C-alpha cells in the first residue's frame, strides 16, 4: 500500500483539530473525555485533543481503566502518556470489582461475555465523567476497526464524535510519528484489553495491513470479489472474511431501526 506523505498526514491532523474545536463549540461543551489504554489510537486522539486545547479554552480528561492492579505494560504506557501534560487531567479507575460483582449474578461467564462487559463498563465510566464535566466522549476507533465492526456495541462503540473513523490504521501510525508519540506505544501490539493477553490481530486472525488492503479492494470492486481477475487463494480468503465481517456487523454503525406507525399517528 502506498504510504501517504507527511505533508498529507499533517494536513489531515490540522483538519481534525479544527473539526474537534468546531464540534465542541457547537455542542457548547468544554471537555474532551477520552479512555486511554496506552495504545496508538487513544494516544493519537488524546494528542489531537490536546492540540485543540491550545487553540481554544477546552480541557482533556484522560481516563485509564485497567482491569486490576497488576500494573501491566499498557497501564504503564498510559501513565507515562498522561504525565505532566498541559490541559490534561488524568484519572485511573480499576474495574475488576465492578466486573466481579456483575459476574457474581451468574451472567457474563464466558471470555467473550466478560470482554464485552469490560468495554461497556468503561463506556459507563466515560459518560459519568462527561456528564460531570460538561464533556463529550471522544471515540478512538479507526476506519479498519469500524468497517468490520470490531467494537463492542454500547461499549467502545458508544461515543459522541469519531475523529479517526475515516482514517486507516496505517495513517494513524503516521500521525503518531508526526505527533511524537512515545516509541513504546508505536511498538506495542494493538489490544482492546478485553481479557488478559488479548491482542487485536490475534483475535481477528488478520493483520491491520490485510484489513486495510481488503477494505480498499472491496470498495474498488463494489464488493464483487468475482470480478477480480488475478488473485491468489490467501487473498481471496482475506477478502471473503472481511466482506462477511462488514455485512455481519453493519448494524453496529447504524441507529437502531424505528417502527413507523401505520395507524397510531
Instruction: Answer yes or no: is 263 within a domain.
Output: no
Torsion, Cα 125 67 158 58, to 10 degrees, reads: 50
In what helix (H) or strand (E) does residue 175 lie, and over which residues does it extend? helix 169-178
Instruction: Answer yes or no: is 160 within a domain.
Output: yes
Q: Helix (H) and strand (E) counts for the chain?
A: 11, 4
pLDDT tens digits, one per residue of 14-57: 999 999 999 999 999 999 999 999 999 999 999 999 999 998 99
Instruction: Answer yes or no: is 93 within a domain.
Output: yes
pLDDT tens digits, one per residue of 184-208: 999 999 998 888 889 999 999 999 9
- 258 contacts: CB under 8 Å, gap ≥ 6: none
Number of domains in the chain: 1
Report the candidate in 75, 3, 73 with the shortest Cα–Cα distance to residue 36: 75
**Mean pLDDT, rounded, of the chain:** 95
Give me the pLDDT at residue 159, please.
98
**What residue has cell string 464540534?**
23
What would the grid cell of residue 94 be? Answer: 480499576
- The most distant pair of C-alpha atoms in the chain lies apart, rounded to whole Å, by 61
Give me the pLDDT at residue 265, please.
59
With bands split at pLDDT 50, 70 and 90, how would you rate the model's confidence at 264?
Answer: low
Give me the pLDDT at residue 70, please.
83
Give me the pLDDT at residue 145, please.
97
Instruction: Answer yes or no: is 215 within a domain.
Output: no
With bands split at pLDDT 50, 70 and 90, how would you rate the model's confidence at 262?
Answer: confident
pLDDT tens digits, one per residue of 146-188: 999 999 999 999 999 999 999 999 999 999 999 999 999 999 9
With bands split at pLDDT 50, 70 and 90, how would you rate the model's confidence at 1?
Answer: low
Instruction: Answer yes or no: is 255 within a domain.
Output: no
Instruction: Answer yes or no: is 212 within a domain.
Output: no
pLDDT tens digits, one per residue of 212-227: 999 999 999 999 998 9
- CB–CB of 140/45 below 8 Å? yes
Give yes or no for residue 256 having a pLDDT over 70: yes
Instruction: Answer yes or no: is 40 within a domain.
Output: yes
Q: List, in sequence order, every beta strand (DSSP E) within the chain.
A: 31-35, 59-64, 88-92, 135-137
CATH number at residue 165: 3.40.50.620
- CB–CB of 95/118 below 8 Å? yes
- Structural domain span for residue 143: 6-192
Amino acid at each position: 500500500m502506498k504510504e501517504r506523505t507527511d505533508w498529507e498526514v499533517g494536513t489531515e491532523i490540522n483538519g481534525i483539530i479544527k473539526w474537534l474545536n468546531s464540534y465542541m463549540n457547537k455542542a457548547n461543551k468544554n471537555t474532551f473525555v477520552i479512555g486511554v489504554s496506552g495504545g496508538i489510537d487513544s494516544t493519537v486522539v488524546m494528542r489531537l485533543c490536546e492540540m485543540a486545547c491550545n487553540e481554544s479554552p477546552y480541557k482533556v480528561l484522560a481516563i485509564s481503566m485497567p482491569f486490576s492492579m497488576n500494573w501491566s505494560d499498557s497501564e504503564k504506557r498510559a501513565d507515562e502518556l498522561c504525565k505532566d501534560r498541559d490541559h490534561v487531567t488524568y484519572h485511573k479507575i480499576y474495574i475488576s470489582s465492578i466486573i466481579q460483582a456483575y459476574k457474581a449474578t451468574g451472567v457474563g461467564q464466558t471470555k467473550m461475555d466478560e470482554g464485552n462487559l469490560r468495554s461497556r463498563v468503561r463506556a459507563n465510566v466515560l459518560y459519568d465523567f462527561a456528564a460531570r464535566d460538561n464533556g463529550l466522549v471522544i471515540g478512538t476507533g479507526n476506519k479498519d476497526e469500524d468497517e468490520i465492526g470490531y467494537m463492542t456495541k454500547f461499549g467502545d462503540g458508544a461515543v459522541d464524535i469519531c475523529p479517526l473513523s475515516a482514517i486507516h490504521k496505517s495513517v494513524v501510525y503516521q500521525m503518531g510519528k508526526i505527533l511524537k508519540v512515545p516509541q513504546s506505544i508505536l511498538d506495542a501490539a494493538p489490544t482492546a484489553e478485553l481479557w488478559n493477553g488479548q491482542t487485536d490481530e490475534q483475535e481477528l486472525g488478520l493483520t491491520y495491513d490485510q484489513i486495510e488492503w481488503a477494505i480498499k479492494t472491496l470498495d474498488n470492486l463494489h464488493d464483487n470479489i468475482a470480478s477480480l481477475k488475478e488473485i491468489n487463494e490467501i487473498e481471496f480468503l482475506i477478502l471473503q472474511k472481511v466482506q462477511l465481517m462488514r455485512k455481519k456487523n453493519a448494524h453496529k454503525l447504524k441507529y437502531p431501526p424505528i417502527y413507523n406507525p401505520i395507524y397510531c399517528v
